Amino acid sequence: MSWSVRVLATPALASGFRLAGLVTDDVANTDDIGPLLAARSAEPGLGILIVEQRLLDAAPDVVRREVERRPVPIIVPVPTPAWGERPADAEELILELLRRAIGYRVKLR
């Protein structure tokens, strides 16, 4: 089976993914993310769903839990660009992804 990749992002960020050749859904309003996230994650053949972090944070908890429990598609959060803010610590991002994947916090070092 061939797996596909899809992106859920705000119009400003989605255009960059579209230029890279990925199929995108523009989400202008954070209120629309819940039903769209549930629908896209239920699509057969979808292997990776890239979601802008701000939109993923705005999704209802029920939808997030349901989507994160599924083995496929893999949900990949992408930080929203923040001009002027300092980027988040890469180690913290990796630890959060591990926590979601295995269900508990991992301490490095």
Q: Is the pLDDT of residue 85 over 60?
A: no
How many whole angstroms separate alpha carbon 109 and alpha carbon 106?
10
CB under 8 Å, gap of 24 or more: what pairs does 66-75 form? 66/38, 66/41, 67/37, 67/38, 67/41, 68/100, 70/41, 72/3, 72/46, 72/47, 73/6, 73/40, 73/41, 73/43, 73/46, 73/47, 73/48, 73/49, 74/47, 74/48, 74/49, 75/41, 75/49, 75/51
In this predicted model, what pLDDT tens digit does every residue of 22-65 receive, in sequence order? 999 999 888 889 999 999 999 999 999 999 999 999 999 999 88
Predicted confidence at residue 18, as pLDDT, reads: 92
Q: Which residue has the higher pLDDT, 63 or 105?
A: 63
The domains located in the chain, with CATH, are: 4-82 (3.40.50.10580)
Give the pLDDT confidence score for residue 101 in this predicted structure. 74
Position 97 confidence tier, pLDDT thresholds 50, 70, 90: confident
Higher pLDDT, 108 or 67: 67
